[in-house]
Amino acid sequence: GLVPSLAKQALSFYLPGVAPQEFAQGDRVDLKVNKLTSVKTQLPYRYYVLPYCQPSELHVSAENLGEILLGDSIENSMYDIRMNVNASCSFMCERTLDENSK
C-alpha cells in the first residue's frame, strides 16, 4: 500500500521551468546569464554590472518568488547557439578596460 502510493506521487512531481524542450537541427538555443556571486561578499551582482559584452536590448526573464528571494536576475545574452551546428569562435564586441573599470 505505502510504496505504490509514494511511487505515484514521485511520478507526478513537476518543477516549473524545467520541462523537456525539443530542438530540431539548427534551432536557436537561448543561453541566459544569471547573477554573479563573490567569495568576499554575500551580495549577488547582476551579470552585466561587469563590462561583459551585452545585447543591444536586455530582456529580464519572468522571475518567480523563489528567484527574487535568491537574488536571481536571469537575462538574455549575445551568444548565438544552434542545435547540432558546429561553430568556431566569433567576434562579439571590443572593450577597453582601464584601472577605473569594474
Q: Please write the tens of the pLDDT for every residue from 53-86.
A: 999 999 988 777 877 777 788 999 999 999 999 9
Alpha helical stretches, state H, the chain: 2-11, 65-69
Q: Which residue ranges make up each domain of the chain?
A: 27-84
Cβ burial 13-35 (10 Å sphere, 16+ → b, else e) = eeeeeeeeeeeeeeeeeeeebbb
Cell (9 digits) for 62: 519572468
Task: Identify the pLDDT of residue 15.
Answer: 62
Q: Report the alpha-carbon distance of residue 94 to residue 6 in Å, rounded.
A: 55
CB atoms near residue 73 (< 10 Å) = 21
pLDDT above 90 (res 28): yes
pLDDT above 70 (res 32): yes
**Nearest C-alpha neighbor of 78 from the set 35, 30, 41:** 30
pLDDT above 80 (res 34): yes
Task: Identify the pLDDT of residue 3.
Answer: 54
Task: Identify the pLDDT of residue 16.
Answer: 63
Q: pTM value? A: 0.66
Task: Identify the pLDDT of residue 83.
Answer: 97
